[in-house]
Amino acid sequence: MSMKKTILEKMFSAPAEVLEKSVELEREIKNDIKDKKPVKEAEEYWKTLGPGLTTGAADDDPSGIATYSQMGTSRGFNLIWLSLFSFPLMGAIQEMCARIGLTTGIGLAANIKRHFSKKILYFCTVLLLFANVFNIGADLGAMAKGTQLIFPEIGFIFLVFGFAILSLGLQIFIPYKKYSKYLKYLSLVLFAYVFSAFSVSIDWSNVFKHLVIPTISFSRDEIILICAAFGTTISPYLFFWQTSQEVEEQILKGEKTEEARRTFNTNEDIHKMRIDVWSGMFFSNIIMFFIIATCAATLFANGITNIRTAADAALALKPFAGNFAFVLFAIGILGVGLLAIPILAGSASYAMSEAFNWKTGLYRKLKQAYSFYGVIIFAMVLGIVLNFIGLDPIKTLIYSAVFNGIISPVILFFIVRISGKEEIMGNFKNRKLTNVIGWFTVGLLCVVSVGTIIFLFT
């Protein structure tokens, strides 16, 4: 009897043990999935990022770095509020550009040409080309000077030509699929400016007070500086690049014809685009914030109130912030220059090629689009030349900002009109709030650019 009892106990206890083990195993699997979920979400988020991220990062080119450095150096924390103020304006405008590209299946210049005056388009694209050439020249020089800070034995001429040739080679000979990934990863170099900010002593309570309470003196120098800030944050080259990159991404997915690109857009596509664009613009403004804060806390606080280039800012930081911040600043100049210069040349080429009906697109090979790549090469050559005619770097930045100040409101007018038209955009036209922000930005840039031109020529 006892033997039967023992056998029965084992028979009934075994399932209980198995059940207990299965419950424990299920708990372990759930915990494992829970642990991996943040990693998976981060991977999905990174995959969503694309043209918006690279456009935002390119906004902080060496010319932009010099402008933000000068803002912190000459005004301390007083103008840091611009990094917060410009964020919704940039985000709304760049989203409009991206939506135009996704919804119409063609670039910004092609849209303006199709729906508005060709003469205005030709005027704007020529000005855009020259504004971008000034930026390219300033950026090439800044990259060369930045590299010499770390490797002084390398010649300036060699560096300028070397960076120009490298940028051209990447655009012309690297397939777009690989090239777009290169730009995406290169944008991460901007974190150097975040790290440099945390390597110095900053009164954060004072920073955040000036961030939320705007300070402005309306002096000549400050108005010009604000114009330069808007010229480097809400820039025409970003409008054309963003729109055309959305089209390039569609082509990469196999949507070769304009009709296919117009037809296969979904709410999910628009949602992902918005995540990409607003993330890129937030990233851009965060970098602007940290550059201003770093220079204000170190240079301005120690009586240095004027720098001429981004390389000057890096060099001036060294005695007060140490080698770490100095090296990070220099690396940032080099990395973001490699990102921004191809985008400056490429955006001018997109605009010119679409305006004059040339074959366009980085997905094409050189022999398929000679005119498109010819504009890129022409812009780069002029940019090189600017470094050897004795042009003052600060004047180069001002000329570029003035050109951008003239062009931006005109191009923005077309962007807001096109993205707000139901017959063009369908269900993806602007919402009311987006329209309000768009027209406010147009008016603001008109006032700032007119004020700057008056100050410069009177």
* pLDDT tens for each residue of 157-208: 999 999 999 989 888 888 777 777 888 888 888 888 888 888 888 899 999 9
pLDDT at 185: 84
Mean pLDDT, all residues of the chain: 83
What percent of the chain shows pLDDT beyond 70?
89
Between 382 and 232, the more confident residue is 382
Per-residue tokens: 100: 């135009």
Residues in the chain, overall count: 458
pTM here is 0.85
For residue 153, report the phi and psi dihedrals to the nearest 5 degrees.
-75, -15
Of residues 290 and 32, more confidently modeled = 290
Q: For residue 28, what pLDDT is reported? A: 61
Instruction: Tell me: pLDDT of 217 over 50.
Output: yes
Q: ∠ CA 445-449-454 to the nearest 5 degrees? A: 150
* Confidence at residue 22, expressed as pLDDT on a 0 to 100 scale: 59
Please tell me the predicted confidence (pLDDT) of residue 8.
45
Radius of gyration of the chain (CA): 26
pLDDT at 452 over 70: yes
- Assess whether pLDDT exceeds 80 at residue 212: yes
Least confident of 16-20, 27-31, 133-137: 16-20
Q: What angle do CA 185, 189, 190 make, to 5 degrees?
A: 120
Token pair 């603001």 in the structure block, residue: 444
Instruction: Give the position of tokens 């997109």.
Output: 350
Please give the average per-residue pLDDT across 143-162, as a whole number.
89
Give the start-to-end residue ranges of the domains of the chain: 54-456
The Cα–Cα gap between 338 and 147 comes to: 12
* Residue 93 pLDDT: 95
Residue 3 pLDDT level (bands cut at 50, 70, 90): low
Q: Are 172 and 374 in contact (CB under 8 A)?
A: no
pLDDT at 184: 83
Tell me the fold of 54-456.
Amino acid/polyamine transporter I (1.20.1740)
| Residue 230: per-residue pLDDT | 85
- Placement of tokens 């965060």 in the chain: 286
Contact 250, 261 (CB under 8 A): yes
pLDDT in the model for residue 278: 94
**What are the tokens at 331?**
């690396």
pLDDT at 354: 92
Rounded to whole angstroms, how far apart are CA atoms 100 and 413? 14
For 231, other C-beta atoms within 10 Å of its C-beta total 30
- The DSSP secondary structure of 75-119, one letter per residue, reads HTTTTTHHHHHHHHHHHHHHHHHHHHHHHHSS-HHHHHHHHS-HH
How do residues 240-288 score in pLDDT, each as one tens digit? 999 999 888 888 877 777 777 777 777 888 889 999 999 999 999 999 9
Q: Averaging pLDDT over each range in 19-28, 35-44, 159-168, 329-338, which range is the top one?
A: 159-168
Q: How many CB atoms lie within 10 A of CB 153?
A: 5
Average pLDDT over residues 430-438: 93
pLDDT at 25: 59
Cβ–Cβ under 8 Å, residues 379 and 348: yes
Q: Are 97 and 242 in contact (CB under 8 A)?
A: yes
Contact 213, 82 (CB under 8 A): no
Q: Tokens representing 70?
A: 């000068």
Best CA proximity match to 280, nearest among 240, 225, 238: 238
Which one, of 380, 338, 337, 456, lies nearest residue 129 by Cα? 380
pLDDT exceeds cutoff 60 at 349: yes
**Least confident interval from 37-46, 109-118, 381-390:** 37-46
72-76, 152-156, 181-185: range with lowest mean pLDDT? 181-185
For residue 310, the model assigns a pLDDT of 67
Asked if residue 92 has pLDDT above 70, the reply is yes
The per-residue pLDDT for 281 is 94
What average pLDDT does the segment 133-148 reach? 87
Q: How far apart are CA 282 and CA 84, in angstroms?
A: 9
**23: phi then psi, degrees, rounded to nearest 5:** -65, -40
Are the CB atoms for 139 and 62 separated by under 8 Å? yes
pLDDT of residue 178: 79
DSSP summary character for residue 152: T
Q: Is 220 helix (H, G, I), strand (E, B) or coil?
A: helix
Instruction: Choose the weakest-confidence range: 120-134, 225-239, 367-381, 385-399.
Output: 385-399
Closest CA to 46 of 243, 181, 246: 181
Mean of pLDDT values over 90-107: 93
* Mean pLDDT of the 143-149 span: 86
